[in-house]
Chains A and B, each alone.
Chain A
Amino acid sequence: MLWLGWYFPRLPLEIFGAVDESIPLAVSRRWEGKERIDRCNGAARRRGIAAGMLLSRALERTPELVVRARDAEREREALEALGGWAWRYSSRITFDPLLVLLEVGGSLRLFGGVEAMLERMEGELTRLGHRGYWAVAPTPAAAALLARVAPGRRIHHPRALEAALEPVPMERFTRNAELLELMRQTGLRTIGDCLRLPRPELARRVGPRPALLLDRLLGRAPDPRPLWRPSARFRRRLQLAAEVEHAGALRFPARRLLESLAAFLRGRDGLVQRLEWTLEHRRHPPTRFRVGAAQPTRDPDRLLQLLQLRLERLCLPAPVIELELTVPRWHPFEAGGEDLFRAAGKEGERLLERLRTRLGAEAVRGMALRADPRPERAWRFCAPGGASTPSPSPHPAQRRQPLWLLPRPRRLRQRDGLPLHGGALRLEPRCQRIQTGWWEGEEVDRDYYRAVNPAGERLWIYRDRKSGDWFLHGFFD
């Protein structure tokens, strides 16, 4: 089993739309008998606000600071929404405070390995307005702990787990003050200290519970956790950091809700046709309206456009303090219902039509791949929207090729057998040899190099092995 832990330390802020970094925002909670700053965003930090500061002092120092009390209910809702997002990647999901844990051992192959999966997840989280930190480990408890203390760690084998966890200080493992005090007195400072003790001795010193937790952490004892089941209904609220007076300004928070809906729907392979929006006002009954799409969809851009059309006609009776999106029903996705670019719809087709009418069809093109090792023939222009015939897959070696190609290779002048382009070129030692046989048409036999000229331009050049001539074929960015 392999668990992926996603830790969202900024979630208490993100539920108030903390992505808008221009507004200094903080959340507060009570501890040691006083209301204090729990955490804050970058805009607040730049104004000298820090966690632990007394609320009264923070407001004195930065009167424009927006402060919200930590809202456990909304945090739970948001975490569950993230569960809905993660559902796409695994059906074994469980939670810890500010953490989503998912078992990914079974789904890695489907998503092309850990790297590809994480890259994809990171991109999606950014769109959802969350910043998360991940770790991978064989037990859920270890994935959770590592995501908090050592984000980015990937431990695949239970054997490697002990070494990875040894240096973790006990106060990151538990928040139980009594237990921590007990451990401090008995000289147990890190997880390693505990593991070095014989288990009965550890249990004698600190009780059986911490010993069990350690065993679960290392996978030596089962860690039964209730697995989460997603609900069929989508409902998500977003409290706004600042009151919104113009309907147009709801675009940004609405977009976040729609991205979140899209993630929910992707996880279930569903589409929606009707959305219910609720705008909460201070001291005024909420504004409610429905927005319907002509075709079931889950494209957030399209749903946002529909909302915008509605917002343009809307008169707000009072400033908006909260936005809510509810989807009572969603439809299962049917193949062909959401074809590529059909989502852009007639509008997208008309756009292409306009461009091609004015600029000429040959000036508005798509690109596709060809199965040919010669860089100048490994691609072709095609109709916008992709080739009608299936394209070959790219070759891994093409990853090392530059992003820019010259329309055709240009012969370079030489001095002492070395190529020139805006001065003498410095060649990097590694090269890629591209050879084709005469039976493939024009025969090529080339050694490609990366080269840098005195102006710092990074060139892609090759030496024709037959003639010994040098050619410039592209530019690295």
Chain B
Amino acid sequence: MLSSGFPVLDEATGGGWPLGSLVELLSPASAGLSLLLPSLIRLSRRERWLAWVNPPWIPNAPALAARGMALAPLLWVKSGGAEGRWAVEQLLRSGGCPMVLYWPGRILPAQLRRLQLAAERGGASAVLFRPLEAAGESSTAALRLRLERVEKGLRVRVLKRRGGWHGAEVVVPCFG
């Protein structure tokens, strides 16, 4: 597990972000980047890529750097559909990219399984930003969180976690 940097979230998820598996962040509008920020900042100081595949907008590099993230490992990959899935699979499998952020659009359970295998093989975490409707689909993700923007940050509901009880709900004081 990789600590999220937020004690309440670590508590609710049993330690933070699971390595070697998929994480799904479900929200109406691609929320959740600020939840990942402390771990991204920490990972950015190591000699590895941090990939952003098919992000909906431009990562604001100055804001990321001002918060302490090293930019050199940032890898921006603009590619949707099958090409995007292929890229994510390569990145996860390589072992050279501990975290892949991925905005997949529509993605099928069988395609998720493929990514899960790649993540296991490379010991990487794939964080998928998906719409709320995806909550109804089956998924191999080790951790599924439903996110909602509230005044004090993000309300996080644990829909699924490995080796623990789901259903925990916490408000994480994250901003970005």
Q: List residues of chain A with CB under 8 Å of any chain B CB.
A: 19, 21-22, 123, 126-127, 251, 299, 301, 304-305, 338, 340-344, 347-348, 351, 354-355, 358-359, 362-369, 375, 378-379, 381, 384-386, 391, 393-399, 401-407, 455-458, 474-477
Contact = CB atoms under 8 A, between A and B. Distances in A.
B65 interface: yes
Given A123-B42, A397-B66, A403-B64, 4 more contacts: A123-B3, A351-B94, A405-B60, A458-B149
B5 interface: yes
Interface string B75-107: 111110001001100110011111000000000
A147 to B, nearest CB: 17
B69 to A, nearest CB: 9
A301 B95 contact: yes
B57 A407 contact: yes
Nearest to A393: B65
Interface string B8-47: 0000001110000000000011011110011000100011
A347 B95 CA distance: 9
B167 interface: no
B52 to A, nearest CB: 9
Contact of B74 (A348, A355, A367, A405): A367
The binding surface of chain B is classed by DSSP as: loop
Interface residues of B, number: 62
B110 interface: no
B75 A366 contact: yes
Contacts of B97: 351
Given A123-B5, A344-B96, A359-B87, A398 B62 contact: yes
A399 B149 contact: no
Given A304-B123, A344-B48, A404-B58, A366 B79 contact: no
B77 A364 contact: yes
Contacts of A367: 59, 61, 71, 74, 76
Top 10 A-B residue pairs of the complex, sorted by shortest distance between their CB atoms? A386-B72, A22-B163, A126-B3, A379-B61, A343-B47, A394-B66, A398-B66, A477-B34, A394-B65, A477-B176
Contact of A378 (B15, B62, B67, B76): B62
A419 B33 CA distance: 26
B146 to A, nearest CB: 14
Contacts of B79: 359, 363
B47 A402 contact: no
Contact of A474 (B60, B71, B76): B60
A404 B29 CA distance: 12
B174 interface: yes
Contacts of B150: 456
A369 B48 contact: no
A364 B75 contact: yes
B63 A401 contact: yes
Given A123-B3, A354-B90, A369 B71 contact: yes
A381 B75 CA distance: 10
A458 B31 CA distance: 10
Contacts of B46: 299, 301
B14 A355 contact: no
A477 B32 contact: yes
A304 B122 CA distance: 11
Contacts of B62: 369, 375, 378-379, 394-395, 398, 401
A399 B49 contact: no
A251 B95 CA distance: 14
Nearest to B74: A367
B176 A402 contact: yes
Nearest to B76: A365
Given A19-B1, A344-B96, A476-B176, A402 B15 contact: no
